[in-house]
Amino acid sequence: MQWWYFALLDEMVKNPTVSVAALARHFKVSTVTINMVVSSDMFRANLETRMKNNSQYLDEAIRAQMARNALRGLELQAKILETKQQTIPLPELTSTVDKTLERLGYGVKSNGGVTVNATGQTQVVVPVSLGDLEAARAALRQTEMAKGIEHDANGKLDNRHLISVGDNG
């Protein structure tokens, strides 16, 4: 590789949207030469490696800056709470503390997200008292008895008279 290939790599990493014409002008070569160089497998591999390394470097730098900003914000929040502790309204203070704790992972835990019912059957859960449940069961038994559906001595559905699938007798 010639010396300016590495400079070309640097330029393309620094400015990924640069045009071939601009690169040709910068390096004083033709666009055909730039196209030939950048389309080679070796150049592509080097460019990909450089871009990946640059991306990792930027990710680390961004994360570090975000952490510094978060710490500054928390320090400023602590100063304000310290200096104006008597003048901050309780609901605002409570909200601020709750949000801070939640974002740190100490807030109120939710019961989970959305529950997906893959069977296609709708299930509705309604809290009822034991008395209401017994009354509903009794009403169901009465309706079943009126339709001729038999129950055993415990009030359970008696299905002995039903023919099972595949039973010919």
How confident is the model over 54-90, as pLDDT tens digits? 888 888 888 888 888 888 888 888 888 888 877 888 7
pLDDT of residue 157: 62
Q: What is the per-residue pLDDT across 79-128, written as a single tens digit (0 to 9) for each?
A: 888 888 778 887 887 888 788 778 777 766 665 556 666 666 776 777 77
Q: What is the mean pLDDT of residues 146-151?
A: 71
Q: Evaluate if residue 19 carries a pLDDT over 90.
A: yes
Q: Where are the alpha helices (DSSP H) in the chain?
A: 3-14, 20-27, 31-38, 41-83, 90-103, 130-146
Q: What is the mean pLDDT of residues 41-45?
A: 91
pTM: 0.38
Q: CB under 8 Å, gap of 24 or more: what pairs does 93-100 form? A: 100/74
pLDDT of residue 169: 46
